[in-house]
A and B are shown apart, each in its own frame.
Chain A
Amino acid sequence: MNHHAIWTIYRAEMARMRRTFWQSIATPVITTVLYFIVFGGAIGSRIQHVGGVDYGAFIVPGLIMLTILTQSVSNASIGIYFPIFTKTIYEILAAPLSAVEIVFAYVGAAATKSILLALIILGTATFFAPLHILHPGWMIAFMLLTAITFSLFGFIIGIWAQSFEQLAIIPSLIITPLTFLGGAFYSIDMLPQPWRTFNLLNPVVYLVSGFRWSFFGTGEVGVGLSLAFTGVFMAICLGLAGWIFKTGYRLKP
């Protein structure tokens, strides 16, 4: 294991976040506060409870999930796309590093960032809603799993993308809509058909539901199913990353 190299990349990636501090930290926090004002304040005054949970508290896991999903994907994709775009990737490829080590460093840094953001948002949320976390251990576990899995997904997108537009397409065209549809701000039982059935295919439903379970002890689908789904998606991303390095896809001509 080239520990020095992993640590070097990890630290450089974290430094990149410090360089763009406002962009990285402030924007998601401000957006989240707005969500609380709109959904928690305006709508929450009409909907008091969802499944026995205060509406303001109910949307907290959804908001955190939304942040983890979008941030993991965008952090990791920019993290690897930037050196490819500037061609500084040559240095990474010529270094005595294995594929696993490269993925570990970039995905680790991206996941760390989105977890930091998730915790900041969780802290911010306590000002807006009465929060009581039933299974803190599981909550952390879901956060970690989701952050790592979607950072891995972002890493793959960063290698696949051939322009900044393509880089932005997946988060804005897929992740955000699926999260909104996936019950971030409401219980999916409240959706009319055919959306309710369609949602069974929506991966975000399982993530949000499992995460919500760790807060309130209830979720739309079983927690086992949530875990299994995240595991499957992670395995798919790992397989794809492995294939990328094996074939050199867009990294090594």
Chain B
Amino acid sequence: MSSMISVSSLRKTYKSGLVALDGIDLEIEKQEIFALLGPNGAGKTTLISVICGTVGIGSGTVRVGGHDITQDYRAARAMIGLVPQEISLDIFATVWNTVNFSRGLFGRRPDPAYVERLLHDLSLWDKRDSRVIELSGGMKRRVMIAKALSHEPKILFLDEPTAGVDVNLRREMWALVRSLRDKGVTIILTTHYIEEAEEMSDRVGVITGGRILLVEKTATLMRKLGRRKLTLMLQHPLAYLPAGLDQWELELNQHGQVLTYAFDANAEDNGIPALLRRMAELGIDFRDLDTSRSSLEDIFVGLVQQAA
């Protein structure tokens, strides 16, 4: 059995009547980094919460490591470490105590050597005797991760791990996630930053409106969706596209003042140097340029249109 997590026809309707999950089928492989990508309110957190047991299962089945999360919840939950989106900590407890508390909850014997190593890895060792209330926001987030890893889980859920996190900590987290994967941990993270999904994950699942739109290898998805756009603000407006430029996919906008070029971000040769050379030859000057990548919104619009 290669699936670490297996979700089938999962539906969840909250008491308010909100349908948060509308028939989710998802297989997550052992030792992969899986990014769940979607806008706010797409159902990312609900999906994670149901798998982890903090939100009741509506209908459908979820298996974790082959264990049904309702019937065999102990075995299923023992495998999972969860870092929720919000920082929720007992602010009066010390770092050392709160991390060991989490380990105890999962029924693991105390292992001070392991917890010490964990705190070193997360740069928390110096703060071990500090109370949580004295820590900075970034430190608190590290404590949340330390708690999730305290019982040596096989699966780690990170719900929006880098929301509101500075660049250094973000890099550290990415490095940590990779090293955990190398140790055999399966990692599921949610994000609404496509860059993060691209940087981190082996596979991406796009979720919106409680449905999984697609699940794809990250590289494949980026190839499919990773269109970029070069925008050139022209010195002098053009009335039409000169014939010498027709080998590029160009568009003239704003009364001929702006020239845009859509290209494949992953192609070996994106055609930009040649385009700029040709423009120089034709005497078309520009005063400014800009490149942009298709945003997540664009991708959603694209996907929804495809689905329709």
State whether B74 touches A2 (Cβ < 8 A): yes
In angstroms, Cα B17 to Cα A253, docked, is 12
Q: Does A90 contact B84, Cβ atoms closer than 8 Å?
A: yes
Known: A90-B82, A93-B54. A5 touches B88 (CB 8 A): no
Q: In whole angstroms, what is the CA distance A91 to B54 when docked?
A: 8
B80, CB-defined interface residue at 8 Å: yes
- CB-CB contacts below 8 Å: A1-23 with B: 2-5, 7-9, 12, 15-16, 19
Contact of B106 among A3, A5, A12 (CB under 8 A): A5
A19-B92, A87-B86, A90-B54 as given contacts; A96 in contact with B109, CB under 8 Å: no
Find chain B residues with CB under 8 A from A15 CB: 97
**Is A173 an interface residue, CB under 8 A from the partner?**
no
Q: Indicate whether A95 reaches chain B with its CB closer than 8 angstroms.
A: yes
Is chain B's binding surface mostly helix, strand, loop or mixed? loop
Q: Is the CB of A8 within 8 A of B105?
A: yes
Q: How large is the interface on A (under 10, 10 to 19, 20 to 34, 35 or more residues)?
A: 20 to 34
Is B15's beta carbon under 8 Å from chain A?
A: yes
Contact assessment for A94 and B80 in the assembled complex, using a CB-CB cutoff below 8 Å: yes
Q: Please, what's the 1-or-0 string for B80-120, where 1 marks a CB less than 8 Å from any CB in chain A?
A: 10101010111111000100011011111100000000000
Asked if B88 and A96 sit within 8 Å, CB to CB, the answer is no
Contact of B105 among A5, A19, A87, A252 (CB under 8 A): A5
A200 contacts B by Cβ under 8 Å: no
Which residue in A16, A98, A253 is a CB contact (below 8 Å) of B56? A253
Main secondary structure of the interface of A (DSSP, over half): helix
State which residues 91-124 of A face B: CB under 8 Å: 91-98
Contact residue among A4, A88, A248 (Cβ-Cβ distance under 8 Å from B107): A4
A8–B99 alpha-carbon span in the complex (Å): 11
Q: A95: which of B15, B75, B77, B84 is its contact (CB, 8 Å)?
A: B77
Whether, in the assembled complex, B21 has its beta carbon less than 8 Å from a beta carbon of chain A, the answer is: no
- Tell whether B78 is near chain A: CB-to-CB under 8 Å: yes
CB contacts (< 8 Å) of A16 on chain B: these are 92
How many interface residues does chain B have, given as a range?
20 to 34
Contact A90-B88, Cβ < 8 Å, known A4-B108, A7-B104, A248-B56: yes
Contacts A86-B89, A88-B89 given; does A8 touch B101 at CB 8 Å: yes
Within 8 A of A (CB), among B37-56: 52-56
Nearest CB of B to A30, in Å = 24
Could you tell me if A253 and B15 are in contact, using CB atoms closer than 8 angstroms?
A: yes
Docked CA distance A87–B87 (Å)? 9
State how many angstroms separate the Cβ of B241 from the closest Cβ of chain A: 56
CB < 8 Å: which of A3, A4, A94 contacts B53? Answer: A94
Assess the A5–B14 pair: CB atoms within 8 A: no
Query: What is the CA–CA distance of A19 and B133 in the complex, to the nearest angstrom?
Result: 15
Q: Given A94-B82, A252-B54, A253-B15: A86 and B107 within 8 A (CB)?
A: no
State whether the Cβ of B11 lies closer than 8 Å to any Cβ in chain A: no
Shortest distance between the CB of B235 and any CB in chain A (Å): 57
Q: B73: CB under 8 A from chain A?
A: yes
**Residues of chain B whose beta carbon lies under 8 Å from any beta carbon of chain A:** 14-15, 52-56, 73-78, 80, 82, 84, 86, 88-93, 97, 101-102, 104-109, 147
**6 closest Cβ pairs, A-B complex:** A8-B104, A87-B88, A96-B74, A95-B105, A96-B77, A2-B107
